Amino acid sequence: MSFKNQVASGLKWNILDTVAVKGFGFLVILLLTRLLSPDDFGVISIVTVFITIGTAIVDGGLGVSLIRDDEVNQEDFSTVFISNLGLGILLYVLLFFLAPAVSWFYERPEITLLIRVLGLNFIIMSFSVVQNNLLMKEMDFKKLTFAALPGTLIGGILGVSMAYSGYGVWSLVVMQLVTQLMKSIVVWVISKWRFPMVFSKLKFYRHFSFGYRLVLSNVLSLVFAELYALLIGKRFSVVILGYYNRAKTFTQFPVSMVGMVISKVSYPMLSSLKNEPGSVLVYYQKIIRSAFFLLGGIMVTLFVTADPLFNWLFTKEWAPFIPFFKILCISAVLIPIHEINLNVFKVFNRTDLLLKVEIVKKIFILIVFIIGYLKGMDSLLLAIVFFSYVALFVNSYYAGRLIQYDTITQLRHMLPTFIVSVLTSFIMFLISRYFENSMLVLQVILLGLLAMMFYISLSIIVQNRGMYEFIDLVFTVLKRK
């Protein structure tokens, strides 16, 4: 299979995974939002912070090193497997004893048991980290898609059923546990790798030397990202945290769909080209432009349809989260660009530089966060937006030095999409007032169609190269059999 076809195949199965698996998952999220309260989502947000950070530690460094390294064998796989399993158990024990302190801090006794039960995910997922990374290394996204599907279906159905029956926050806990358990079981069944029970200190140090800086970078990034949730729940209220959680979830869903497809394919793809700097640069530029064009269109459409869309989907109880959602849309559009830039550090084995970049960014975010936190919730959300754009400059500057793609050039390539997005939003703001008295569902359809029409038309007028590269990418995927 040619390299271009291999990339197209990876995109094809990632898109299928996005449509089938993530699409069903999104439907479940919508149903659960209707069935559960902001308080339920606020409580699970506090619990999820610790689970997310622990998951990044288990899944973060050693497994990724297997993708990057061209000279790995069964001894490498077995060593990483044993290391991850031990780490998962250790993290669960630490979290088990930490749980009462978290409950005391938030004055919510139920948090102790929630953390202790959901923390089992550390051990469950540690059984499948090696298999997942092996399939990613081989760019076998077909098997990864099939591995995720049963867990998503069973976990989602069980979660909605429990929420409908009045189990509240526990429906979210059980859904996450069952989803991860099923995924781990299926990936064991379909993966070719079998555990030979071999541990090599030499192999461990080799992968650890790459992975520990990556893990520290990921954890540092997540700690600051999740710091918002922890302090919103304490500074304001758990209900406000529930609104923030839903706003973040609904902005990051399209972002994660695009970002996950791009990141999963781009990292192994760029890793295979790491000895060809010129090729890396060419593909990297195409990825930046096409990803930003696609996500720009999605986020502009969601921004202009947010009020009628969420008033139609949810009860009045959830109305306060809509302004949060619209503010976060402005920053969420950059998340895949951040991920693409950060992949460059991993491709060229510069996790030391990645860690330094994360430390620099966290100094900025701490200052911005304190200002926003003291002035109120709206200011805090605006601080998140501001930091996202600061992070763009920091990430692109250091990543660009590795592949001769400086910040100014990156911004120039993104500028046409940015101009089109702003103009489309402004035009839709002027038009939307004429639809205010229409049915909500009709407003969503008309405003959404008009937003897409203006976005595409303006892209043609300004000759947005990202649009043409995205179209070329789509046709490449569709033509591949």
* Annotated domain spans of the chain: 1-235, 237-481
- What is the average per-residue pLDDT within 117-140? 79
What pLDDT is recorded for position 82? 82
* Closest of 165, 185, 225 to residue 369, by C-alpha: 225
Q: Where is 80: in which H helix or E strand?
A: helix 74-106
3-state SS string over 173-215? HHHHHHHHHHHHHHHHHHCCCCCCCCCCHHHHHHHHHHHHHHH
Q: What is the rounded (10 degree) CA torsion for 189, 343, 340, 2?
A: -60
- CA 354 distance to own-chain centroid: 18
Please, are residues 213 and 346 in contact by the beta-carbon 8 Å criterion?
Answer: no
pLDDT (tens digit, 9 = 90+) per residue, 141-164? 667 777 778 888 899 999 999 999
pLDDT class of 2 with cuts at 50, 70, 90: very low
pLDDT class of 436 with cuts at 50, 70, 90: confident
Please, are residues 219 and 57 in contact by the beta-carbon 8 Å criterion?
Answer: yes
pTM metric for this prediction? 0.78
The Cα 51–Cα 230 span in angstroms is 13
Q: What share of the chain is helix, strand, coil (3-state, %, to 5)?
A: 85, 0, 15
pLDDT (tens digit, 9 = 90+) per residue, 166-212? 999 999 999 999 998 998 888 888 877 666 677 777 777 776 766 66
Query: Range with the lowest mean pLDDT among 3-17, 57-71, 424-438?
Result: 3-17
For residue 440, what are the CA distances in angstroms to 309, 313, 314, 402, 444?
7, 9, 12, 49, 6
434: DSSP letter: G
Mean per-residue pLDDT over the chain, rounded: 80
Q: Which residues of 358-385 are buried (b: 16+ CB within 10 A; e: fewer)?
A: beebbebbeebbeebbeeebeebbbbbb
Say which residues have a Cβ less than 8 Å from residue 436's Cβ, sequence separation at least 6: 443
What pLDDT is recorded for position 277? 55
Q: Residue 275 pLDDT more than 90? A: no
Please, are residues 422 and 297 in contact by the beta-carbon 8 Å criterion?
Answer: no
What pLDDT is recorded for position 481? 46
The label of the residue with tokens 């001769």 reads 404
Q: Which two tokens stand for residue 233?
A: 């729940």
The Cα 256–Cα 277 span in angstroms is 28
The Cα 328–Cα 309 span in angstroms is 16
Share of the chain above pLDDT 90, in %: 27
